[in-house]
Amino acid sequence: MAIGMIRAIKVTPSLLLKFARRKEVRVPCIYCPGICITSCPTFLESGNMMLSPLGYSKYPEIGRRECLKCWRCVPECPLNYELPETFSDGIEVELKLVREGAPMLLSVEGLDEGYASRLAEELNAGLFIATGLLRKYDDGCRIKNLSEIKRRLKGIKVLSLSPEASHSLKIPFILEAARELPLKLEYEGPVHIPCLLLDRSERILEGLKIIGTKISGVIKDSCLKQSVPDALILCPRASTGKRLYDLLEVRTL
Amino acid sequence: MRGESFHEGEFLRELEAIVGGRCSSSPDTLRIYSRDYWPLALLKEVKGEELPLPMAVAWPESSEEVVELVKLCNEHEVPFVPYAGGSGVIGATICEKCLVIDVKRMNRVINLSEEDSYVLVESGIMLRKLEEFLNSKGFTLRHFPQSYPEAAIGGLIATKSVGQYSTKYGGIEDLVIDLEVVAPDGGLIPLRKNIVPRASTGPEIKSLLLGSEGQLGIITKAALKVFKIPPFDYKNSFAFKSFEEALMAVKEIVQSGLTPAVARIYDEDDSSVRFGDRRNLLILILEEYSEPLLEAKVSEITRVVSRYGGKEAGEGYVEKWLEKRFDVISELKKLVVPMGLWFETIETAATWSNLMRIHSKFKEIKKMRGVYAVLAHASHFYEVGACLYFTLTYEADERVYWDIWREAMRVVLENGGTISHHHGIGLLRKEWVFSEIGPSLDYLRRIKNALDPKKVSNPGKSLG
């Protein structure tokens, strides 16, 4: 602590004792007025404080059920507190090697394996399948063995096919590597940027341009778990709409 | 209040019918709505104390639904309280066994007139959402209170809020052109039939509602002045030997018509905690629509500042302030709460001749038992004076809390300051209102009695 700062404080023996005995705050949201609240889709839709990070932090069981786990609140928090991963007990994620190749694609079990398997074959790429990872975004929990997984992937060129894998493992989304892959997509119209990839919007838009799409508008302020807009959809979760996964083709070289 | 024939179940059934099921009386929801961001209520909650619970919460979607809800409350003599962002710091929304009328589903932008520079909105729109919308059209409300991320328009008006850019753009009272209000008896007080920049058509309902804190009905729509986004700005900070010299410099700046958008003077204690620099720092932001005008003002301001001994301290402090200005959680999480301490902010305003006396006497609160820090800055400047804003850290104990408040109110009242510049009254300050405004409080109570014969509009606060 700087000397100037200490001079601003009345330092007493009891204050020093408090400093020595200070306890970590586990859930900062309890003390917050809701700095992130305007980013929360369930709050914006309902107007209900209970269906906001303030409610979810106080009642984790409601968070587990109602929060969309879109992670939009996290970058809004000055502490970057990851509230959505506190609703359930942590999980272990397992990486299964399906086939060797370069680059390696990473699919999430229960989300995109069928599509990933087909694309890996067409690109002559390798394939990992991550099991258990989806629970982070369904139930709201942390990945207990995250550093172990990251260690395993270190030094390997890995691309994800879902926002979930990109977000949790901090690996590039496939469109971010568009320049290096023989992909094409004939599409003209708006695109929806997934909540989990908002910080990568520019690279994704660049990737879409490289593979031949003509993007006329960018939708960033809605979550697919609430409604699917009439736009190009990059989330494999969406069961309807113009899905990247149905439209993407591999160019023959 | 209510008669013996009152039947809660019947009230709740009628409530549900009015809002089509958009209501709740679940204990969890009532707990979430049992307080705003009043530090004392939060302290009680974290210590496990049960706060007074409302009876139910409703989320109307139109002024017509609000009318029906308020009429229902009158019929059953059930008190009600409007609720917007919940970011108030004075306990104004705490209302036992009342119906909380949360207006946040009434969040539409009804009309933006780019030609006439005003916007008409429903009162539940979040300030940040409104600002983002306006920015997308090249406009701005330029209203940035610290609660910017979590406040809604209706609450800001009902609290009589100011934003950090108020020195140039004014408080919320300067932005409100007109209001639609549901009166305490359920009557709809509509917007005027015209939007005009000013009208001499007798007393205005909007003036009554500004700062009314839910005691005189529910604000449902607001017409607000907006500005084109200013294209030119200047940011700098200056260090002064004394807080007083910095105040004198800003007084001359403001009284010379050089009005900055933002001016904030941090005393040595506040500067050292916020910026790690133990000097009296003045932070300045100027915004203009013409570059030559901006340059001329900067040149004049630099001359004034220099005459009072101000030394340039760079843009870095301004950037740091801009980055942290809505962050109320970092210090709480890192230091205050872990050490078993608590926080409070107390704002006052006074004329220039009283400011330094209030500053020095208020700082003596630090000597009180259980108080560890009293930081101060001046912000929100006017031709006749300024706001002083104190941030206190103290023992997380209710007795210490009230000792501080009693002493703080004594200091400001005995030295010509107001008990509140922009946070409002609520439950927190109600016992000191008469000391400041005297018999006019009685006249305001008579107005409330006339408008609210059943005493249902947020009762138990300053107006009775």
Of A41, A68, A86, the one marking the end of a domain is A86
Indicate whether A5 pLDDT > 90: no
Interchain pair A31, B329: CB under 8 A: yes
Rg of chain A in Å (alpha carbons): 21
Nearest CA in chain B to A8: B269
Both A70 and A95 in one domain: the answer is no
Both A7 and A82 in one domain: the answer is yes
Nearest CA in chain B to A11: B372
Both A155 and A201 in one domain: the answer is no
Give phi and psi for A181, each to the nearest 5.
-120, 145
Indicate whether B4 pLDDT > 70: no
Both A168 and A195 in one domain: the answer is no
Residues 49-108, chain B, touching A (beta carbon < 8 A): 57, 59, 85-87, 102-105, 107
Both A197 and A141 in one domain: the answer is no
- Tens digits of residue pLDDT in B137-156: 999 999 999 999 999 999 99
Q: Could you tell me the sign of the dihedral formed by the alpha carbons of B68, B73, B74, B75, in that order?
A: positive
Of A40, A69, A86, the one marking the end of a domain is A86
User: What's the confidence (pLDDT) of residue B221?
Assistant: 98
Mean pLDDT to the nearest integer, A194-214: 97
Both A71 and A134 in one domain: the answer is no
Q: Looking at the partner chain, which of A4, A24, A78 has a beta carbon nearest the beta carbon of B330?
A: A78
Interchain pair B278, A59: CB under 8 A: no
Interchain pair A18, B339: CB under 8 A: yes
What's the rounded Cα separation, in Å, for the pair B428 and B462? Answer: 10
Residue % of chain B over a pLDDT of 70: 99
Rama region for B288: left / alpha / beta (φ>0; ψ in -120 to 50; rest) = beta
- E strands in B324-413: 341-351, 371-381, 385-395
Query: Residue A130: which of B196, A148, A140 has the closest Cα?
Result: A148
- Tens digits of residue pLDDT in A36-60: 999 999 999 999 999 999 999 999 9
Mean pLDDT to the nearest integer, B331-359: 96
B293 touches chain A (CB under 8 A): no
- Helix, strand, coil percent values for chain B (each to nearest 5): 40, 25, 40
Indicate whether A1 pLDDT > 60: no
B280 touches chain A (CB under 8 A): no
Number of domains in chain A: 3
Residues 39-58, chain B, touching A (beta carbon < 8 A): 42, 46, 57
- Tens digits of residue pLDDT in A63-82: 999 999 999 999 999 999 99
Interchain pair A35, B327: CB under 8 A: yes
Interchain pair A78, B329: CB under 8 A: yes
Q: Which residues of B touch A24 (CB under 8 A)?
A: 338
B335 touches chain A (CB under 8 A): yes
Interchain pair A4, B277: CB under 8 A: yes
Nearest CA in chain B to A28: B333
Both A15 and A66 in one domain: the answer is yes
Tokens of B330: 């970092």
Interchain pair B329, A55: CB under 8 A: no
Question: Following DSSP, what letter does each residue of chain A receive, concatenated?
Answer: --HHHHHHS---HHHHHHHHT----S-GGGG---TTGGG-HHHHHH--GGGSHHHHHH-HHHHHHH-----THHHHSTT---GGGGSS--B--EEEEEE--SSEEEEETTTSHHHHHHHHHHHT-EEEEEESTHHIIIII--BTTHHHHHHHHTTS-EEESSHHHHHHHT--BGGGGGGGS-EE---EEEEEPPGGGGGGHHHHHHHHHHTT-EEEEEE-S--TTT---SSEE--TT-SSSEEHHHH-EEPP-
User: What's the confidence (pLDDT) of residue B3?
Assistant: 59
Indicate whether B376 pLDDT > 80: yes
CB pairs under 8 A between A and B: 132
Nearest CA in chain A to B329: A32
Q: Which residues of B touch A57 (CB under 8 A)?
A: none
Mean pLDDT to the nearest integer, B431-443: 98
Mean pLDDT to the nearest integer, B127-131: 98
Both A40 and A7 in one domain: the answer is yes
B436 touches chain A (CB under 8 A): no
CB B422 within 8 A of CB B160: yes
Residue % of chain B over a pLDDT of 90: 98
Tokens of B210: 């500004």
ipTM, two decimals, is 0.95
User: Burial letters for A148-165: b for 16+ Cβ neighbours within 10 Å, e otherwise?
Assistant: ebeeebeeeebbbbbbbb
Of A51, A86, A121, the one marking the end of a domain is A86
Interchain pair A33, B339: CB under 8 A: no
B239 touches chain A (CB under 8 A): no
Predicted confidence band at B1 (pLDDT cuts at 50, 70, 90)?
low
Among B87, B136, B372, the residue to mutate for chain A (most A Cβ within 10 A): B372
Q: Looking at the partner chain, which of A18, A19, A34 has a beta carbon nearest the beta carbon of B150?
A: A34
Mean pLDDT to the nearest integer, A145-166: 95
How much is the mean pLDDT over chain B?
Answer: 97
Among B26, B30, B31, B32, the residue to mutate for chain A (most A Cβ within 10 A): B32
CB A159 within 8 A of CB A112: no
Indicate whether A232 pLDDT > 90: yes
Which residues on adjacent β-strands are paired with residue A128? Answer: A97, A106
Q: Looking at the partner chain, which of B31, B124, B333 has a beta carbon nearest the beta carbon of A28?
A: B333
- Tens digits of residue pLDDT in B346-370: 999 999 999 999 999 999 999 999 9
In which domain, by residue range, is A188 found? 178-253
Torsion of CA B124, B130, B133, B134, to 10 degrees: 140
User: What's the confidence (pLDDT) of residue B379?
Assistant: 95
Interchain pair B29, A36: CB under 8 A: no
Both A201 and A166 in one domain: the answer is no
Both A67 and A98 in one domain: the answer is no
- Tens digits of residue pLDDT in B6-40: 889 999 999 999 999 999 999 999 999 999 999 99
Both A209 and A242 in one domain: the answer is yes
Indicate whether A2 pLDDT > 80: no
Both A236 and A191 in one domain: the answer is yes
Mean pLDDT to the nearest integer, B159-172: 98
User: What's the confidence (pLDDT) of residue B63?
Assistant: 98
Interface of A with B (CB under 8 A): 2, 4-5, 7-10, 12, 15, 18-19, 21-25, 28, 30-38, 44, 46-50, 54-55, 58-59, 62, 76-79
